[in-house]
Structure 1
Amino acid sequence: MPSGRVFGGQVVAQCVVAATATVGPDRAPHSLHGYFLRPGDVDEPITLAVERIHDGRSFARRRVQAYQRGEPIFSAIASFQDHDPGMEHQMPMPEVPAPEEVASAEEELGGAFALLRHSPIEARHVHGGIYLEVPDARATQATWLRIRSRLDDDPALHRAALAYMSDFTIQEPTLRANGVSWRTKGLRSASLDHAIWWHRDARADEWLLYVAESPTSRGGRGMNTGRIYTRGGELVASVAQEIMARTPAFN
């Protein structure tokens, strides 16, 4: 990240990979709940520690922590489950333009696109991005996302990549609702916690629709929730995150 901080989604994904390595191949992650404790430094290595806290007949839980300089920067508990049959339903995907019909970040930013050129995620905001200004002040948004590079077919890799992507743009409904862009002078923001629930497998290198909303913001904090769909309309993950967001205009 330009700020020199480690992208939170990277740490979440690394924790998913580390925890997955301690369970059998017949169990997949279905949820992770964690807290960001300190900013990560891109120039420092990250050490991961996994604790086996429960192994049941159908579920397994792991506590996983990411460290830098001997101090935890992220702490989470991940839960894994066997592939069991059961009830099934989902909320339908909203009708939005296809990704080919939505402006890319490069088209939106023009010469300023260099800021995102090296991002592994390609993003297309259905309602316009808030990189430089807020074109539409609303508490909801929809964004097409995908990993730019083609990934191997391993489902575990795509679950980790989905966790990585889940921290991308999830903060924006809070900012958008308050008319705050990423370029707003004096903006200070940070993810406080992160939760993701995997519902179905999907390829992270194919277009996914990230539908997000912010039900409330107060006291320098904003709550955001999201749902991630395949292009075909399958709900593959749900996300929740609270952020710190402060600007001089609201202080």
Structure 2
Amino acid sequence: MFIGHWAPAFAVAAAAPESPRLGTLFVAAQLVDWAFALFVLGGVEHLRLVPGITAMNPLDLYHMPLSHSLLGTAVFALVFGVAIGAGLRNTVAGFWAAVVVLSHWLLDLVVHRPDLTLVGGEDKLGWGLWNVPGVAIPLELAITLGCFVWYVRATKGPLGPPLILIAAMLAFQAFSWFGPEPQGSPTAMVLTMMTAFAILTTLAFWVGRTRWHNRHVGLAVASVRR
């Protein structure tokens, strides 16, 4: 799953007026993948490209006990939530940030082949929807677009920025699904992934600065634009 990981960011921003800005929630949604990318570059975790290992991508994510175990994800969620809560002086915002971080493992569980762990052990989990494109593709589009529409309807502001964001998300996703299959060094793939994350997260920060929740009115709007 790629853009589907940002669906919880849109959903939380729509449902919870006290949640952090959209850009912060975008960081939360892919925090463990940011960590995985850095761990791979540092030789702490590992992947390899194996054409045909799933129907949708060649990723053999055979060693990621820190970033993609349920325990590891929970630790990232706790640390990030505490940091956001302290930084914004708002424990509710910190709670929602942590929820979005934790959502990453649950969404991965649906699509990954068995390569996730509970605590970093040998037992691997994954329901494998990457092997069923006819289900995985419409599912990812449905949850992403559904949560995006919810976010736009629950917030006020110019429509241009969110439309640019979702267009960019769909363009990156289309390239991931239908572009050339990654080949060669996993390092190049990881750097490409980080670049895509950085571009979309930057756009999300821009969107978050242009919109506010429908429940924020009058002076309350200024108080939440932190």
What TM-score results when the alignment is normalised by the length of structure 1?
Answer: 0.27
Between Structure 1 and Structure 2, the one with more helix by share is 2
- Larger RCO of the pair (alpha carbons < 8 Å, separation 6+): 2
Between Structure 1 and Structure 2, the one with more strand by share is 1
What TM-score results when the alignment is normalised by the length of structure 2?
Answer: 0.29
